[in-house]
Chains A and B, each alone.
Chain A
Amino acid sequence: MTVRWEKAAYVLWIVALALLPGRAYGMHISEGILPPGWAGFWFLVAAPFLVLGMRDLRIRAGRAPHFKTLVGLVGAGVFVVSCMPIPVPTAGTCSHPCGTGLAAILIGPGQAVIVTSVALLLQALFLAHGGLSTLGANIVSMGVVGGYLGYGAFLLARKVRAPWPVAAFLAGLLSDWGTYAATSFSLSAALAGGGSIAALFRMILAAFVPTQVPLGVFEGFLAAGAYRFIRTRRPELLELPAEGWAP
């Protein structure tokens, strides 16, 4: 490939980028970005969490058959919330809340991983948001890191006797930020090539900071508001995580 050809291709690419419509979904790692090795690696990381989630689902659905309909419902909630695009001018893309923090405190982190995997597959197939080969990486960042971090923050906050809304706020906030940090790491580890993973990680993370910091706060308020509302109207729904296997 000659240098002249490379220059021309580069310019064409940038022109094409400028001509594309502005709206884009940027949080999920797009189809085709991860090399096969990394894509496979993230599937392997996600697999044990999916197996544990399925085991938990089988046990709890055995006790109460309607449990699956509730999990499906929370899955739809994660699907809808993670489809709300918010522009990220510095990254040239869009960001969005994740909903996994709230899902984890409602149905437990194991089920949060399951509903995240379902939501991600449906988004990949029917919205071209995320992808099939990047499903493993996206499950890890959004379901595993987001779900478990949010749930852990919630438990920890309750342990130090923080009020319920504060604990729910922290779950929403940290699950969102954790998801973005994990996504940035997945991308930088896969794309650094011979360069520094840490430098690329900082760069990708920095690109999302201007919107992700307020977006995480927004997600925290959303989780706190929804949690407070459910606690007031239907407190029995909040017993669910304690019923199941919630490591």
Chain B
Amino acid sequence: MVELFSDIFAGRDNALVRLDPRAKLSVAVAGILAALFSGGATLPIAVFVVCLSGLFAVRIPARWVLARLAGPAVIASVLVLLQSFLVGATPLFGVSVAGVRFTAMAEGARHGLLLGARVLGCSSIVLLLGSVTPAHRVFHVLRWAGVPGGWVEIAMLTYRYTFVLLDQAAEVSAAQRVRLGYSGPGRSLSSMGILGGTVLLRSVDQASRTAEAMSARGYSGQIGFGPMGPMRRADRLVAGVAPPILLAAYLLAEGMLP
């Protein structure tokens, strides 16, 4: 799972990674809002295409991008089907399954397609943001944005311990397998309980050691977050220009501009 984290690509050197995280966050939020408020599929699809181009421009593997977007797309697609067969009054087409007639409605299908476009547009924004922003910079910008320090600390510790837990779980699970710990349903359930408990206890020990090491280095209950440096001119330009462009695109797509 470790290699599946988007920020494995954030260690590369490219223009999007170098961009200040505050600028990236402001553009991402503006993009999500524009797609969410959009009444038609055009703008979310345009956002999707732009983000997809961004992902490919920074050389994120296409297979990885497709695998990441598959989740949101599949669940949105199921909802498209539900909307089509539940919402609306204008018949679009019908199918018979085991003698039962199902009729898809035009209004529901249209709304479903809008939903699908929104999901793809918004998901691609978050995917791009996560792929070009290292985790520690995300935490720093969250603190800068006013998120309580305690919450950000928990987020940092959670991120760190995720890898510890995964390592421990892989190790214990491999040991259980070679001892035939999953040879039947009863043994499997028992092994899983032991796996969960062992991983937790081992990690608690690790957490205690970490806490002691942090105390030895002067930790008194709060991790200090240094101030974020001033944004570069290019960052300010992106943060200042992209949201108004998105707003203009939204107004244009909604027919509010001549």
Contacts and interface: CB of A to CB of B under 8 A. Distances in A.
Q: Do A and B come from one complex?
A: yes
Interface of A: 1, 3, 6-7, 9-10, 13-14, 16-17, 20-26, 30-33, 35-36, 39, 50, 54, 57-58, 61-62, 65-66, 68-73, 75-77, 79-80, 83, 91-94, 102, 114-115, 117-119, 121-122, 124-129, 131-133, 187, 191-195, 199-200, 203-204, 207, 218, 221-222, 224-230, 233-234, 237
B193 A228 contact: yes
Chain A interface SS verdict (over half): helix
B157 A72 contact: yes
A72 to B, nearest CB: 2
A209 B162 CA distance: 30
A85 B130 CA distance: 21
B159 A122 contact: yes
B137 to A, nearest CB: 11
Interface of B: 1, 4-7, 28-29, 32-33, 35-37, 44, 66-80, 82-84, 86-87, 92-93, 104, 106, 109-113, 115-116, 118-123, 125-127, 129-130, 133, 135, 138, 148, 150-151, 153-162, 164-166, 169, 189-190, 192-194, 196-201, 203-204, 206-208, 210-212, 214-215, 219-221
Given A26-B71, A75-B161, A203-B86, A128 B32 contact: no
A3 B84 CA distance: 14
Nearest to B7: A126
Given A7-B92, A69-B210, A75 B196 contact: no
A31 B154 contact: no
Residue of A77, A91, A94 contacting most chain B CB atoms (<10 Å): A77
Contacts, number: 287
A101 to B, nearest CB: 12
A114 B155 CA distance: 9
B135 A72 contact: no
Nearest to A99: B196
B194 A229 contact: yes
Contacts of B84: 10
A91 B74 CA distance: 9
A233 B122 contact: no
